[in-house]
Structure 1
């Protein structure tokens, strides 16, 4: 397995497929607009960073991050207590279902901390659904601490109605 920072869109379609796999089923099942998803992923190639885990030339995981100021949902408390210009935001960590439980998420986080540009970032934030205990435990185990939360409205998969997810913001210093 190898970890690389993608500087072109070679794995773009695989990242979109992984996003759909990660959020179109299971407990976090929700409606995903494909046009919005394409724009969202493209934003990381143009204004953020894309880290990928590859095995046998197949994408098995990705970590997408950008400057925190690109996250329009972060709580006011963060803005009051941190220099937003020096904060990174890990927007997504996704691992292919077949590869979960093998430490790939941990390795993606380690790769992030090895490669993040410390000239630009002092702090990093990540947002996670409060019911995603596996992810919460991973983030806490790797040095993140809960600092705030928000409620995020999502559309039901059938597009008939909405539901609310409580998302927890976690923080860690970049050292």
Structure 2
């Protein structure tokens, strides 16, 4: 049975190490593998949870996955000149979605997104926005199948592979209106 639990400043520390491990397994392997240290992930996730919240999925006391979000205006890379546009005002930014490899293909990511959408509606957000690598076909398909559409906004990010060679990611912003 999957247990979904809200993550916030009060309980994040209890799960922090295991959440970081899930993150590292998700983002340091495969085509999108990049160099990222435990401390970099820890600092990033702590920042997100300090200004936002999340939902944790657990199966038999193992972390199966998580989703973290915060107000869009706190996304350091979203084009600030667009933040005041109607489509983006009062938007919740989904900063991270990760499901551990052993728990994939079980609908956990969809349920995490659904849980986040419910929370966003309760908090009176008008839309959900996320950023995904355009070559992450599984991720893009997941988001499109859960109602997200391309916003027409993208950014480029330079990342480093495990062998320290740089590669560029074209990240696209997808949006889901909640009104």
TM-score (norm 2): 0.89
Partner of 1:42: 46
**Which of 147, 153, 159 in structure 1 is aligned with 2:158?**
153
Are the equivalent residues in 1 in contact too, given 2:49–2:68 (CA < 8 A)?
no
Matched, 1:136 2:140: yes
**Which of 29, 33, 48 in structure 2 is aligned with 1:29?**
33
What displacement does 1:66 show?
0.7
CA RMSD of aligned residues (A): 1.8
Structure 2 residues not aligned, in runs of 5+: none
Structure 1 residues not aligned, in runs of 5+: none
Give the Cα separation in 2 of the matches to 1:42 and 1:123.
Answer: 23
Give the Cα separation in 2 of the matches to 1:83 and 1:145.
Answer: 12
Partner of 1:122: 126
**Which of 71, 82, 85 in structure 2 is aligned with 1:67?**
71
The count of corresponding residues between Structure 1 and Structure 2 is: 174
Give the Cα separation in 1 of the matches to 2:99 and 2:113.
Answer: 12
Partner of 1:106: 110
Are the equivalent residues in 1 in contact too, given 2:159–2:167 (CA < 8 A)?
yes
Bigger drift between 20-29 and 150-159 goes to: 150-159
Give the Cα separation in 2 of the matches to 1:135 and 1:15.
Answer: 19
What displacement does 1:130 show?
0.6
Give 3-state SS (helix, strand or coil) of 1:59's partner.
strand
What displacement does 1:41 show?
1.0
Matched, 1:90 2:94: yes
Give 3-state SS (helix, strand or coil) of 1:17's partner.
helix
Give the Cα separation in 1 of the matches to 2:123 and 2:66.
Answer: 23
The verdict on how the C-alpha distance between 1:116 and 1:79 changes in structure 2, with shifts beyond 3 A counting, is closer
Give the Cα separation in 1 of the matches to 2:169 and 2:94.
Answer: 18
Give the Cα separation in 2 of the matches to 1:135 and 1:93.
Answer: 9
